[in-house]
Amino acid sequence: MKSPIVFQDLEKELQPVTKYLQGRVLNAGCGQRDLSSFFKKNGATAVDNCDLTTPIPNAIICDLVDVPKESDSYDAILCNAVLEHVQFPDRVVAELRRLVKPGGHLVLCIPFLQPYHPKPDYRRYTKEGMLELARIHDLEIVEILPVHTIAQTLTWIYWSYLEERRARLTRLALWGPLYLWNRLSQKTDFDTQIQANGYQMVVRKAAHPSNGNGHNNGNGHHSSNGVTQ
């Protein structure tokens, strides 16, 4: 049975953060969709796509813990709905930090109130968890925005529960009302700051990176634990 969940288009979901995705942009964990035209319409001058596997032509095929690009290669990096699926998220964030120029932006989109979705699916982040992720990697917080509405949140969780319980009759009875609720609830509720479906965290690499332990000093070398040195 088809799910009654209706999400806004990905382009609309990303629209609030396009002002940070300027210049040369990396779409880290691009998946199946090439958003290059969308980014360029909103200010990007060049776009690289990167993932372990993707049908997008000319994409960089690699693990996000080791992207074959020079340090400070990008003005901005998008990593959308990826960190919950990677085994070593701190190593990924460290690598993205290495790749972005001083003063450049990382846009990290991470779920919170979402059910398990394969595969694999390792983690969720609260707003405090995202702030801690930025602090650990010496990234300056620009803003954190919620994503989606309570309609998508509750429908997704409850529908996943009903699917696991194989409750076909309940799903048949509720499909119409849930679908209508989702169709009428397409605009992100930006007043929901704590109990959000997910978050878009915009962070900035300091214009003059520190020489502190585990942070970038401009030579682009890596430590064995994946944190830029």
Confidence of residue 80 (pLDDT cuts 50, 70, 90): very high
Mean pLDDT of the 84-112 span: 97
Is pLDDT of 224 > 90? no
Mean pLDDT of the 38-63 span: 98
Which of the residue ranges 78-92, 107-121, 167-181, 210-224 would you say has the lowest mean pLDDT? Answer: 210-224
Mean pLDDT of the 32-42 span: 97
pLDDT tens per residue across span 167-194: 999 999 999 999 999 999 999 999 999 9
Higher pLDDT, residue 219 or 157: 157
- Is the Cβ–Cβ distance between 5 and 163 less than 8 Å? no
Q: How far apart are CA 216 and CA 209, in angstroms?
A: 6
Q: Which domain holds residue 41?
A: 10-149+190-205
The bridge status of strand 139-147 relative to strand 100-111 is: unpaired
* CB neighbours of residue 228 within 10 Å: 23
Is pLDDT of 222 > 90? no
Q: Output the pTM of the full model.
A: 0.88
| Domain assignment present for 224 | no
Residues 6 or more apart whose CB falls under 8 angstroms from that of 70 comprise 220
Which CATH number is 195's domain given? 3.40.50.150
- Is the Cβ–Cβ distance between 102 and 205 less than 8 Å? yes
Confidence of residue 119 (pLDDT cuts 50, 70, 90): confident
| Domain assignment present for 171 | no
| Domain assignment present for 163 | no
How high is the pLDDT of residue 218?
38
- Is the Cβ–Cβ distance between 137 and 94 less than 8 Å? yes
Higher pLDDT, residue 205 or 119: 205
Q: How far apart are CA 62 and CA 148, in angstroms?
A: 30
| Domain assignment present for 154 | no
108-109-112-113 Cα dihedral, nearest 10 degrees: 170
Task: Give the number of domains in the chain.
Answer: 1
Confidence of residue 208 (pLDDT cuts 50, 70, 90): confident
How high is the pLDDT of residue 217?
40
Q: How far apart are CA 143 and CA 128, in angstroms?
A: 13
| Domain assignment present for 17 | yes
| Domain assignment present for 21 | yes
Percentage of the chain with pLDDT > 70? 91
The DSSP code for 70 is: -
| Domain assignment present for 196 | yes
| Domain assignment present for 158 | no
How high is the pLDDT of residue 118?
84
